[in-house]
Amino acid sequence: MSKKSVVLAFSGGLDTAFCTVYLREQGWDVTTVTVDTGGFPPEQLERIQALSQKLGSVAHHTVDARDTLFQGYLRFLVAGNVLRGQLYPLSVSAERACQAVEAVRMAEKLGVQAVAHGSTGAGNDQVRFDVAFRTLAPQLQLITPIRDLALSRQQEISFLAERGFHLPAKTGTYSVNEGMWGTSVGGRETLDSWSTLPEAAFPGGEIPTDLKPLPLIISFEKGVPVALDGKAMSAVEVVEKLNAIGRPYGIGRGVHLGDTILGIKGRVGFEAPAAHLLIASHRELEKLVLSGKQLFWKETVGNLYGSLLHEGHFFDPLVKDLEAFLASSQDRVTGEVKLVLTPRAHVVEGVRSPHSLMDAKVATYGEANVLWTGTEAAGFAKLYGVAQMLSQKAK
């Protein structure tokens, strides 16, 4: 048996299947690790394990990281109301960081000499995996066969077929990668900035025409979702349930156009019902319980946090500083949010909290109040405009 051992982040797709066989032929004992961050039904996890064994790995491990993903990553995206470009929920970014961390943990546990991934040299994921592996385990050799060899998918298929492993090329028109925080969709329509992805391209498919408005109440405790319609659930259960509820309505569908880590523009379709419903609800609850200055700085911090995660800087010390701020800001973000879902839309209809800063008994906007008199209000308004008045006079 070879003395060289490597942990391979394994998805069960063509690229990581190629990596398993290629690394084995290069003299490595390959242990495959699949990190479940959602989107893997049990039968798919079983298929992935069977494929790993068939390809000749010495062992395969499946890590259920759904709760780890939420507690270590997603809860901060919710706390920061993070939607890149006000649209995209950073599902892939969070999942890759989590998967890389878990792969390193497994590598250190097993005492291997190297870690490997199957990313190409074209996208963001190679950077995210590289940075994580080099930061967390600089003592381990980093191996990237797909990027180094620059083979086409057909060449990978032929390589495997010559060795008796027959993996079909992707027969679908669209590339779909599903996770707990969202599903990404790529196709010919995402290669330019004008074309539109058809409804059928999304996992939820065509939206039924007979859907009725669906009321929904989401409960939060310190910024974390804890119940739906009064039924207590774990955060992971809430996310999975909201995905199931929102998918038929086409909630959270869109196409994101933005900057990649490599400096070029990229476009990707996505379907993320839970992320959009939770962030919309959470944002409205925060409006009720946080001060204006908190809301202002939270928007800045949330955008910065999202950028660091998206761009592969998750292990910069600044990230933990921002997480501390975001966590502190959630102390009073407890309450309920009432929504109504309709096809491709959701509306927040109401919000309530024991920490509400909106007290009709003290002051009502535009109406009488007990906090000040009309004379005091007139004096305030006069002083409030002094700086602008002097600026105009100085022209």
pLDDT in tens, 190-205: 999 999 999 999 999 9
Decide: residue 394, CB within 10 A, 0-12 exposed, 13-18 middle, 19+ buried: exposed
Query: 126 vs 9, 120, 175, 265, CA distance in Å?
Result: 12, 7, 18, 17
169 has pLDDT over 80: no
CA 366 from chain centre, in angstroms, equals 40
Q: What pLDDT score does 173 carry?
A: 79
DSSP string, 300-369: HHHHHHHHHHHTT-TTSHHHHHHHHHHHHHTTT--EEEEEEEETTEEEEEEEE-TT-S--TTTB-TTS-B
pLDDT band with cut points at 50, 70 and 90 for residue 38: very high
pTM of the model: 0.94
Q: Note the CATH number of domain 4-162.
A: 3.40.50.620
pLDDT in tens, 268-319: 999 999 999 999 999 999 999 999 999 999 999 999 999 999 999 999 999 9
Q: What is the DSSP secondary structure assignment for residue 46, as one 8-state letter?
A: H
CA–CA gap between residue 60 and residue 33 (Å, rounded)? 6
pLDDT in tens, 99-157: 999 999 999 999 999 999 999 998 899 999 999 999 999 999 999 999 999 999 899 99
Q: What pLDDT score does 356 carry?
A: 95
Average pLDDT, the chain: 94
- Averaged pLDDT, 225-243: 98
Domain ranges of the chain: 4-162, 174-290+332-352, 363-394
For tokens 């051992």, what's the residue?
A: 5
167 has pLDDT over 80: yes
Phi, psi of 215 (to 5 degrees): -75, 150
Q: 245-254: buried (b, 16+ CB within 10 Å) or exposed (e) per residue? A: bbbbbbbbbb
pLDDT in tens, 331-379: 999 999 999 999 999 999 999 999 999 976 666 666 667 788 889 989 9
**Looking at the domain covering 174-290+332-352, what would its CATH class be?**
alpha beta
- Averaged pLDDT, 258-275: 94
Q: What pLDDT score does 122 carry?
A: 87
170 has pLDDT over 80: no
1 has pLDDT over 60: no
Q: What pLDDT score does 370 carry?
A: 77
Q: 56, 50 in Cβ contact below 8 A? A: no
Three-state secondary-structure class, residue 68: helix
Poorest-confidence range of 1-15, 73-87, 244-258, 373-387? 1-15
Q: What pLDDT score does 362 carry?
A: 61
Q: 11, 36 in Cβ contact below 8 A? A: no
Spatial CA neighbour of 223 closest among 281, 176, 178, 184 = 281
pLDDT in tens, 39-52: 899 999 999 999 99
Q: What are 314-323's contacts with CB under 8 Å, separation 24+?
A: 314/97, 314/128, 314/131, 314/132, 315/131, 315/132, 315/135, 315/136, 322/76, 322/80, 323/76
